[in-house]
Structure 1
Amino acid sequence: MAKQVHIRVDDTTYEELNEYSTLSGQSMQDYLSVAIRQLLVKKREDVPRKETDYTFIDLFAGIGGMRIAYERAGGHCVYSNEWNRYSQKTYFANFGEYPDDDITKVNAADIPNHDILVAGFPCQPFSIAGVSKKQSLGRATGFEDKTQGTLFFDVCRILKEKRPKAFMLENVKNLCSHDKGRTFKVIQESLEELNYKIFFRILDGKSYVPQHRERIVIVGFDQERYGKNVTFEFNLPLSEKTPVIRDILESDVSDKYTLSDKLWVYLQNYAAKHKAAGNGFGYGIAPLDGVSRTISARYYKDGSEILIAQNGKNPRKLTPRECARLQGFPDSFKIPVSDTQAYKQFGNSVVVPLMSEVAKLVIYNLRKMDKEIALRKRMTI
């Protein structure tokens, strides 16, 4: 719910605001809200950062899971972009800034210089008809031809314009097999064409949170800067304690999260029907001393993929805070939106501690390679 703040302005300021509002078609309230947000962002930018920090940009930022990961690894965010207004609200509540809202309309040259591009870009179909035709005619194709019309194209054009030292991309596991592997082939070729050495691995978050969640992570380093012999290994440390569902549960949960009799009967009948047909579709009761299924953006509908058993009552859905914990967000993370929006946001987010470990490896690699370059320069002087 929006809060109201009353302010007093002199007559001259009021007339200027009224004139601007008329010309721009924007209400005074909206204009002042934007101005206050910009002031808060400027205030945040004035905070000095350590010289040792690596800068990064946060594209398709969602609610900032990747941002938390890179800040934990010693990074400093200089730009963010996310089009969903509810996610923007959550992002602002936690980081004090509103992301830009449409990456396709952003001039890449206007994005601040940065060391690392970070993006959890959506997976979209790539049209290869035009590319195949050009290749059959012996004509060269570039990532503009291969990826135009997809949001991955915006990642490529920013990489081309700003040439960061490295990037880290995250997507669903099925990206590798999407369109019989052609989608991932286009992604690989496009990134390599931009002269980045890429490494990728499908990683499961269950070592860090009590959830089976596989995602592909693609890491790339600038070969124009570091040469062709760049190496990188996904050597991730395991958690000291294996996380289980019991660890994330709240002690006092409202009855509103308990499934209604109608919904519970429907889910049981649905599962029985599919079991009889020989497939495994149906609800999932999460084992308290094990890991859950993968939470998705559809969790808000019925919570069927991850239900918690209750004594003498129907099962219940996870609360938004429990969903946040399931993805590894700290309890200090603010949830300023409705339950429905929160479920969508956490279902679309990343396993924060897993991404934090990858971020540490990326920055470690950069520090090592930058030190080697600096040492070679000193030796040639």
Structure 2
Amino acid sequence: MPKLTVCELFAGVGGFRLGLERSKDFKVIWSNQWEPSTKTQHASMVYENRFGNKNHSNLNIEEIATSSIPNHDVLVGGFPCQDYSVATSLKNSKGLVGKKGVLWWSIYRILKEKESKPSYLILENVDRLLKSPVKQRGRDFAIMLKGLSDLGYACEWRVINAAEYGYSQRRRRFFLVGIHHKSNLYKQLLKSNAEEWVLSNGVLASAFPVTSTNQKNQISLSESMLQLSKTFNSDGKISPFLNSGLLLNGNVISYKTLVNYNGPFQNLKSVLEKDKVADEFYINIEDLPKWKYLKGAKKESRTTKEGFKYKYSEGSMAFPDDISKPSRTIITGEGGKSASRFKHVIETAHGLRRLTPLELERLNGFPDNHTKLEGITNTKRAFFMGNALVVDIVEKIGQSLLSKI
């Protein structure tokens, strides 16, 4: 079989490419990485250093003509998720109309304008997407599915927590596999029972087995994208989109599924460097009280800038982190010396310390020192990993897609 050619959008430091190209049957022939909020394009620098700058674009994807992107078999991308991220509250997320959420439409535009459309899509986002925005839960995802359906794609999706399938980080992410009607795999899908495809026969179910629960929703996306934008789930109570599902010919069937995995499990300890690391990662004794306060439980009165008083409470977090379990999710603010509730802290023979960039890379399945480059700080390297995906998840999805083809 000839290699499947891949277009990698919103490439970051290359997680999709690493996962797919572990198989010799995928080849990235064009990539794009552009960060609108920074003058120096650090992620693109790392990408070019690791993969070369041939057929790599470091320009705003919104301004790139579709005609300049070569035809390809598979389009992949972890399109910007800041508007849905757990770093911001759901009520403040702007969904598809947000500053960076709008970049979804760059994917839609490319697919729409491509005369020879890619046969397959693999897209990644935070699971917040399934229930955004707060006043019309699931509306953004409904618009996306409708757009893809209009372009001739069937889509299966799943929310996958890497740790539940044996990996060393509790990282929950949404993955979507699109299958164009011109492909042979689409013909297989038409012959299959929809429920069996989602629960056992599909690309995602074959890679990451599940069992079903009694919870199932069926949704018709017969209205236009504009009408869906105005009226979808207007009562805003609960999103109809569950953690697994299938879109076929404008109809959606969605299931709440449970993980079915019996293999080995990795933990935080498995990625740790064995020797003493650089002094910058160790916590100074004088800073310990602040770390303990931020990690601890709180019930206290606070006052907003406008003078409004309110009661604030939160539970305690493990301090230090339990290295016998998978790590918590890496966030973009993982780097830097300042005390934080969300940064990882481990206990070692040399004292309490934060995780190193190499350890963060390992938690996402990247090669050691993938992001190490002159001019790239350790804080920036941690930021990259907070934005990245778990490479092994992509690898397994790619292998499953190949097996189906």
**What is the TM-score when the length of structure 2 is the normalising length?**
0.67
1:219 aligns to what SS in structure 2? strand
Contact 1:124–1:151 at 8 Å: present in 2 too?
Answer: no
> C-alpha distance in 2, partners of 1:292/1:89?
28
Structure 1 residue 292: Cα displacement:
1.0
Structure whose CA Rg is larger? 1
Amino acid at match of 2:112: K
**Do residues 195 (structure 1) and 166 (structure 2) align?**
no
For structure 2, the 5+ residue unaligned runs are 36-40, 85-95, 192-196, 209-260, 301-311
Amino acid at match of 2:120: A
**Alignment partner of 2:289 out of 265, 269, 277:** 265
**Do residues 69 (structure 1) and 93 (structure 2) align?**
no
Larger helix proportion, structure 1 or 2?
Answer: 1
> C-alpha distance in 2, partners of 1:300/1:77?
30
**Do residues 310 (structure 1) and 310 (structure 2) align?**
no
The superposition leaves residues 313-367 of structure 1 with CA deviations (integer Å, 9 ceiling, x where unpaired) of 3x211100000001011226352121011000011001001111011112333x2
2:79 aligns to what SS in structure 1? coil
**Alignment partner of 1:150 out of 71, 93, 102:** 102
Residue of structure 2 equivalent to 1:56 = 6
Contact 1:124–1:150 at 8 Å: present in 2 too?
Answer: no
Amino acid at match of 2:298: H
Contact 1:146–1:186 at 8 Å: present in 2 too?
Answer: no
**Alignment partner of 2:51 out of 78, 81, 95:** 95
Structure 1 residue 146: Cα displacement:
12
Contact 1:208–1:354 at 8 Å: present in 2 too?
Answer: no
2:331 aligns to what SS in structure 1? coil
The superposition leaves residues 202-259 of structure 1 with CA deviations (integer Å, 9 ceiling, x where unpaired) of 0011134311000000111101444571752422266953111111111221221012
The superposition leaves residues 148-191 of structure 1 with CA deviations (integer Å, 9 ceiling, x where unpaired) of 98100000111122210010100001111121211111111111
> C-alpha distance in 1, partners of 2:291/2:99?
41
Residue of structure 1 equivalent to 2:42 = 86
Amino acid at match of 2:322: P
Structure 1 residue 309: Cα displacement:
1.3
Residue of structure 2 equivalent to 1:122 = 80
2:298 aligns to what SS in structure 1? helix
> C-alpha distance in 2, partners of 1:266/1:360?
46
Structure 1 residue 268: Cα displacement:
1.1
Residue of structure 2 equivalent to 1:342 = 381
**Alignment partner of 2:122 out of 155, 168, 184:** 168
**Alignment partner of 1:185 out of 127, 142, 167:** 142
> C-alpha distance in 2, partners of 1:100/1:216?
26
Structure 1 residue 93: Cα displacement:
1.5
Residues 145, 342 of structure 1: alpha-carbon distance in 2 compared, 3 angstrom cutoff = closer
Q: Which runs of 4+ in 1 moved over 6 A?
A: 144-149
> C-alpha distance in 1, partners of 2:57/2:298?
43
**Do residues 319 (structure 1) and 356 (structure 2) align?**
yes
Residues 364, 99 of structure 1: alpha-carbon distance in 2 compared, 3 angstrom cutoff = farther
> C-alpha distance in 1, partners of 2:47/2:269?
28
Q: Which moved more, 1:332-341 or 1:179-188?
A: 332-341
> C-alpha distance in 2, partners of 1:101/1:189?
28
> C-alpha distance in 2, partners of 1:63/1:148?
18
The superposition leaves residues 101-122 of structure 1 with CA deviations (integer Å, 9 ceiling, x where unpaired) of 2101110111001000001001
> C-alpha distance in 1, partners of 2:99/2:143?
8
The superposition leaves residues 68-127 of structure 1 with CA deviations (integer Å, 9 ceiling, x where unpaired) of 11112321001000013100111112111243321011101110010000010013769x
Aligned residues: 298
> C-alpha distance in 2, partners of 1:319/1:58?
28
**Do residues 294 (structure 1) and 245 (structure 2) align?**
no
Residues 175, 215 of structure 1: alpha-carbon distance in 2 compared, 3 angstrom cutoff = same
Q: Which moved more, 1:107-116 or 1:219-228?
A: 219-228
For structure 1, the 5+ residue unaligned runs are 1-50, 127-143, 368-381
> C-alpha distance in 2, partners of 1:169/1:196?
13
> C-alpha distance in 2, partners of 1:248/1:262?
28
Contact 1:294–1:305 at 8 Å: present in 2 too?
Answer: no
**What is the TM-score when the length of structure 1 is the normalising length?**
0.71
Residues 319, 78 of structure 1: alpha-carbon distance in 2 compared, 3 angstrom cutoff = same
Amino acid at match of 1:171: N
